[in-house]
Structure 1
């Protein structure tokens, strides 16, 4: 099963569980992660179901390719890290 890890930046706002999901792509994994947790979904996805501008996803060490389709393929043992992109000076 793929593992979804939300980094601790989101923990300031709500519980961020570590999850195991069975999905073929990132969209399916996120849908499974957010089932029954619309508040968490709102921190990660916008109202068009795209990644928010301040969110970055890494799959097996590589940044996800498409912020809209979220169709990156997953392996059964993929590690998915979801974090807030930080900026500043």
Structure 2
């Protein structure tokens, strides 16, 4: 199973322990990770199910390319990191 890992800064705001989930895409993995945590889901995804602008997801060290459908592939050994994007000026 893939591992979904939330950064410590998210844990300050929401309950989001790392977890093992099944799925072959980021969407499937997140659907399983959020199955019993609607608050976390709405923090990471918008009402259309797209990744919010202030969030980033990396799979096995590479930022995902599909922020809308979350169709990037994952496998049983994948590590899916979810973190807040930083901006500055």
TM over 0.5: yes
Q: Give per-residue Cα distances to partners, 1:5-56, cap 9 Å, x unaligned.
A: 0001211211111010111110000000000110000110001100000000
Name the TM-score, length of structure 2 as normaliser: 0.96
RMSD: 0.8
Unaligned runs of 5+ in 2: none
Distance 1:51 1:38 in 2: 14
Contact preservation (8 Å) 2:11, 2:17 = no
Q: Where has structure 1 moved over 3 Å in runs of 4 or more? A: none
Name the TM-score, length of structure 1 as normaliser: 0.96
Unaligned runs of 5+ in 1: none
What pairs up with 1:1-89 in 2 under 5 angstroms? 1-89=1-89
Secondary structure of 1:52's aligned partner: coil
Q: Size of the alignment, in residue pairs?
A: 89
Distance 2:73 2:53 in 1: 21
